[in-house]
Amino acid sequence: MIQDNYSLTEEQIKHFEVFGFLVRRNVFTTDEVAKMNEEFDSRRAVLLEGTDPEEKRFFDNWPNRNPETPFISSLLDDPRIYQHSEQLVGEDSVPVHSNANSYSQDSGWHPDRTDHNICTIKNVMYLQPTTADRGALRVIPSSHKNPLHKDLLRIGLRGFKENDSQFLKKSGLCGADIPCYIFESNPGDIITFYEWTWHAAFGGYKDRRTCTFNFYRNPKETDEIAAMQLEVKNYAEETRTLGTVGLQFHPTWLENPDHYPRRERWINWLKEWGFIQAQYK
Amino acid sequence: MSMLTEQQITFFNTFGFIILRKVFSDEELAIMDDEFETSLKTIQGERPDNEVPKHFNWSNLGPETPFLSLLPEDPRICETAEQLFGEHVIAVSSNSNRRVGNTHWHTDQSHPHSYGLKFAAYLQPLNSDNGAFRVIPGSHKQPFNDKLKHIEMHSSEITVPYYSCDSAPGDIVIFNFATWHSSFGGSTNRRMCTIDFYKNPETPEEVEGTYDQVIVDEKVYAKLRAYGSGFHPHWLANPQNSPRRQRWIDWLRKYGFVKSEEA
């Protein structure tokens, strides 16, 4: 059942703070998920046509904010995405990345971010059912915070590909042996986690699909501001490394034809920090 | 030869527990089952209603359970404990436990400066749905450990993220007392043998914590309505003159875990 009020309870917020992630079930309906998959199908087909099949890529991904995927693009303006995000990282937080991702393999253990001067959260929705053996996201509770966050780095667990993890290599363990919470999900469920939180997925298969919506906390302290400036500086290079195809901030989205005040605030912030200009570099 | 590899020690220190597979052979398990069953029957027979409470345990240090009574000194156990908590660790209990139903989320640490680890050998195959040991990885460390005291662990709104230590007879789960753990969906006859070790206190706070532990242990012992004495005179007599056991006994006397009347 879809709840009318999308606010998180105090208990849910506390859970997120302590464990570094939060699960919400049945956030989107079956019909809505079907629409997302339809848009995903057509957009992926178009993009793959223009891609060199021999090119080695981690995974196919493209920004959601474009006129070819109008429903997915509209989700950032949907309270089911922004309302809890604002509760978790601030009313003045901003969605910097929003992507569709098509994976074709496992994702080994990693945090998306290790610099604690930038606070970002990621909302992930899988467009297919997931289980432990078939692509479910795994998270290590409380690994967004030290000492666990740093301990996992120190022991050498990190490796986007399993073979890259020094700890797994030396111990003879596989990624699935690492103790964690497994987010088995149905399309329409959403997991939100701090990008510092360690996560992985095993049992990958071709065209394993997610839509992601990342919100950044507005930086206030000197160290946070410096870290955000560095983030902007590295933005174009990071996007190239990830192989993201297309503009993150499409001109149509920037036009804000419905004059949403929230989106207008986001656009002003993105311009102020230089993210929009950075996507053309 | 070291029992644990460097990576296994790293795993334990990082996540607060580790599972060792196939530690006991089928022959050893048969003996453990037999000694467990015999003790349980004896105890049931001695009770007026022939029944035992939901959570019930008794010491394995008596001569009636010769195999189990020697487990704390088995190199697979004590040398592993020494690798994890230092060569001066002390075996403070070896029990059989019969449990019924769920065990809710808790830690076994009673004082912030009292450190210990538990070896748990389950005598039946267990998975997440029928009573396997559930653990919150990394919860032995601060500040995560304390934060868990302040969140609602039994709410329908949230799911406590856990890892299920599915196990087969012969496996051992070792965990830090501070690690949050639970068990749900267990049968009416869940059986396990446990051996507890304390870290030798090194600081004034740890010494205080150890004295505090004596009081707590007495209360827990009474609450669980444990059967018989924790330290059987036969074990305290140390008939094999084991130097390691003698060190443990001396330590247990020094801190008051063994009362003079038990000696």
Q: Where are the domains of chain B?
A: 6-258
Query: Is A266 among the domain residues?
Result: no
Query: Is A89 among the domain residues?
Result: yes
Query: CA quadruple B174, B176, B177, B178: dihedral positive or negative?
Result: negative
Beta strands per DSSP E along A35-161: 60-63, 94-103, 107-110, 120-126, 137-139
- What secondary structure does DSSP assign to A198-209, as a single string? -EEE-S--TTEE
Q: What's the mean per-residue pLDDT of chain B?
A: 90
Q: What integer pLDDT is reported at residue B185 of this predicted model?
A: 85
- Which stretch, A1-10, A59-68, A101-110, B163-172, has highest mean pLDDT? B163-172
Cβ-defined contact of A11 to B158 (cutoff 8 Å): yes
Query: Is A70 among the domain residues?
Result: yes
B13-58 pLDDT tens trace: 999 999 999 999 999 999 999 999 999 888 888 777 766 677 788 8
Query: Is A215 among the domain residues?
Result: yes
Interface test with B, best of A12, A25, A142 (most B CBs within 10 A): A142
Q: What integer pLDDT is reported at residue B214 of this predicted model?
A: 87
- What secondary structure does DSSP assign to B135-172, as a single string? E-TTTTSTTHHHHGGGS-TT-SS-----EEE-B-BTBE
Spell out which chain B residues touch chain A, with contact meaning CB-CB distance below 8 angstroms: 5-8, 10-11, 14-15, 17, 135-139, 141, 143-144, 147-148, 150-152, 155, 157-159, 161-163
Query: Is A261 among the domain residues?
Result: no
CB hemisphere CA count around A184 (13 angstroms): 4
Pairing of strands B163-165, B172-176: unpaired
Chain B residues whose beta carbon lies within 8 Å of the beta carbon of residue A14: 150-151
Cβ-defined contact of A171 to B14 (cutoff 8 Å): no
A69 Ramachandran zone, left/alpha/beta (phi>0; psi -120 to 50) = beta
The pLDDT of residue B152 is above 90: no
CA B126 remoteness from chain centre: 17
Supply the range of the domain harboring residue A60.
Answer: 10-223
Q: What integer pLDDT is reported at residue A92 of this predicted model?
A: 97
Q: What integer pLDDT is reported at residue A85 of this predicted model?
A: 97
The pLDDT of residue B97 is above 60: yes
Among the partner-chain residues B7, B138, B151, the one whose CB lies closest to the CB of A170 is B7
The pLDDT of residue A141 is above 50: yes
If one counts every other C-beta atom within 10 angstroms of the C-beta of residue A9, the result is 12
A183-207 pLDDT tens trace: 999 999 999 999 999 999 999 888 8
Q: What is the CATH number of the domain that holds A111?
A: 2.60.120.620
Cβ-defined contact of B7 to A139 (cutoff 8 Å): no
Tally of domains within chain A? 1
Query: Facing residues of B59 across strands?
Result: B95
User: Using CA atoms, how far apart are residues A107 and A134, in angstroms rounded to an integer?
Assistant: 12
Strand order in the sheet with B181-183: B103-106, B181-183, B133-135, B163-165
Domain made up of B6-258: CATH architecture: Sandwich (2.60)
Cβ-defined contact of B7 to A148 (cutoff 8 Å): no
Interface test with B, best of A21, A26, A148, A169 (most B CBs within 10 A): A148
Query: Is A257 among the domain residues?
Result: no
The pLDDT of residue B156 is above 80: no
Q: What integer pLDDT is reported at residue B57 of this predicted model?
A: 84
B173-221 pLDDT tens trace: 999 999 999 998 887 788 999 999 999 999 999 999 999 988 888 887 7
